[in-house]
Amino acid sequence: MNIPDMPVQVPVDDPNADTEWNDILRKHKIIPEKPPSPTPMIEEALQEGRRLAHENRLESKDLDELAALEDEEDEEFLESYRRTDRLRATCDDIDGNRLKRMTELATITAASVFNQVYQLQKPDYSSDVTEASNKAYVLVLLTSSHGTNTESRVLIEIWRDLARRFGDVKFCQIQGDLCIEGYPERNTPTILIYKDGDIKKQLVTLKDLKGPRTSTGDLERLLVEIGAVNPSDSRLQNRPGAESAQNDYPRSSIRHGTIGKDQDDEDSDWD
């Protein structure tokens, strides 16, 4: 027995509701498709209205109003241009500074091969100091053999700090009498600065700095003065004063020469 096709009444609470059941019914054309949302058309109409309002903004304005509008729009354009120009300049400055900083860090990292205080032995002095100075600045600290020398203790601590931060400069240390036989205790600490195989500067004790009150900043200024560190180096703790280091740093008793050079007894720092 064939059952004739009969329309089936399907219960629908709200044909406009966004439900899965309504989607199935629409798919099988049991209920009509949901009418499109008017929102896009409303937005389009609003945009068109704003466009027409801008195009017709000159309608019904007299000459004075037109002149004022022209000045106002010119000023808006100029201000927009100024903002764009300032933003572009700021971005260029940021990019330039970032590139400069990255280049500086890369150079420092590549050159930082020391980063410690090297304890010297007299037989190795020539290779560890004189020859090494052909590749980098080498600073040698001649210390006291007695623990009562306050200036030596102060400088030993500063030496460690500088060696850790300025890895592209080689910091060495040795007792004065082990480096030079009979070296006077009263002349310690002594700083010898080597570059290109020669002693470029020497400081005998800290009397020309601040004595026992000598600080890391004083030695940083010395590094800047001799050219071992750039005045703008970000590793400097006292960077603002570094640029005037050459004027501030006393030079009266900083000698040039090599160890063992003959000098008169009355003005010799080695006696």
d(CA 124, CA 258): 17
The answer to whether residue 14 sits within a structural domain is: no
Q: What is the pLDDT of residues 67-101, one digit of tens each?
A: 776 666 666 655 665 676 677 666 666 666 666 66
> Are residues 208 and 235 located together in one domain of the fold?
yes
Please count the other Cβ atoms lying within 10 Å of the Cβ belonging to residue 251.
Answer: 9
The answer to whether residue 142 sits within a structural domain is: yes
Report the number of distinct structural domains present in the chain: 2
> Are residues 94 and 213 located together in one domain of the fold?
no
> Are residues 223 and 252 located together in one domain of the fold?
yes
> Are residues 129 and 222 located together in one domain of the fold?
yes
Which domain does 79 fall in, by range?
Answer: 64-111
Is 245:224 a contact under the CB 8 Å cutoff? yes
> Are residues 81 and 148 located together in one domain of the fold?
no
Q: How many CA atoms lie within 13 A of 144 on its CB side?
A: 18
Confidence (pTM) = 0.53
> Are residues 199 and 242 located together in one domain of the fold?
yes
Q: What is the pLDDT of residues 15-53, one digit of tens each?
A: 667 777 777 777 877 777 777 666 777 778 778 777 776
